[in-house]
């Protein structure tokens, strides 16, 4: 497919400007390609971490469910529900971000209140309740980690697609158009030079004949 020529005046100054634009576009293309490689590598790494985080979350939930089932059998559902209600507390997630090749990736962290008490009667309850509380905390942490990873994947995916469009535009539109226009102007200048030389030859012949 023929490349679209850029509309410019056929002058040597415009040729110099086009060559500068081509040089700049080539440098930008290299930078953007390098950035795309970094984004893709980071995306693949986070994808692997996401798979592992999902597996860990399922394991944590399975263990917590097992402990909850045993505690329910030991305390009874009504008594267990009462004790668990006493452990309810507000949760706070601290959000932030980190930079990956210019892309802002979210980070989530569970804020812990070191002064918070367990909320249930330690004397009247079994160690299973302590275990449930610990496992629930692990489940919550696993959920937060997975949420951060999946949000990062989504944002990186969008950024990769956007960067790919820039790379393709440079590689298949901008740079070929500049190259084609420069070649066209060069041919124009050569043709003009040949015509000028031919004209001078005719003038010289006419002068010699006169």
Q: Where are the domains of the chain?
A: 12-209
Question: Range with the lowest mean pLDDT among 3-12, 15-24, 116-125, 184-193?
Answer: 116-125
Per mean pLDDT, which of 126-135, 190-199, 200-209 is the most reliable?
Answer: 190-199
Q: What is the pTM of this model?
A: 0.75
State the pLDDT at residue 154: 94
**Span 36-63, average pLDDT:** 94
DSSP strands (E only) in the chain: 92-100, 103-111
The stretch 147-174 carries a mean pLDDT of 94
Residue 130 has pLDDT above 80, yes or no: no
- Per-residue confidence (pLDDT) for residue 182, from 0 to 100: 92
Mean pLDDT of the chain, nearest integer: 84
Is residue 86 a contact partner of residue 75, using CB atoms and an 8 Å limit? no
Outline where DSSP puts E strands in 80-169: 92-100, 103-111
Residue 81 token pair: 């529900």
Looking at per-residue pLDDT, the higher value among 152 and 71 belongs to 152
Average confidence (pLDDT) over 125-139: 74
CATH number of 12-209: 1.10.287.3240
Is the predicted pLDDT of residue 158 greater than 90, yes or no?
yes
């Amino acid at each position: 497919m023929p490349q679209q020529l850029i509309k410019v005046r056929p002058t040597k100054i415009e040729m110099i400007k086009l060559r500068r634009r081509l040089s700049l576009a080539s440098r930008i293309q290299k930078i953007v390609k390098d950035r795309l490689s970094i984004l893709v590598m980071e995306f693949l790494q986070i994808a692997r971490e996401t798979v592992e985080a999902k597996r860990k979350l399922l394991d944590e939930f399975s263990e917590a469910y097992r402990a909850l089932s045993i505690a329910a059998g030991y305390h009874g559902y009504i008594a267990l529900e009462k004790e668990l209600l006493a452990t309810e507390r507000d949760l706070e997630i601290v959000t932030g971000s980190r930079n990956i090749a210019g892309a802002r990736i979210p980070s989530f962290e569970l804020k812990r209140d070191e002064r918070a008490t367990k909320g249930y009667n330690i004397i009247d309850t079994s160690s299973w309740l302590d275990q449930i509380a610990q496992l629930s905390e692990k489940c919550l942490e696993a959920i937060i980690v997975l949420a951060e990873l999946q949000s990062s994947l989504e944002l990186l995916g969008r950024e990769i697609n956007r960067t790919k469009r820039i790379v393709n535009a440079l590689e298949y539109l901008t740079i070929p158009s500049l190259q084609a226009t420069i070649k066209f102007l060069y041919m124009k200048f050569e043709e003009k030079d040949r015509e000028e030389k031919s004209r001078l030859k005719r003038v010289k012949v006419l002068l010699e004949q006169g």
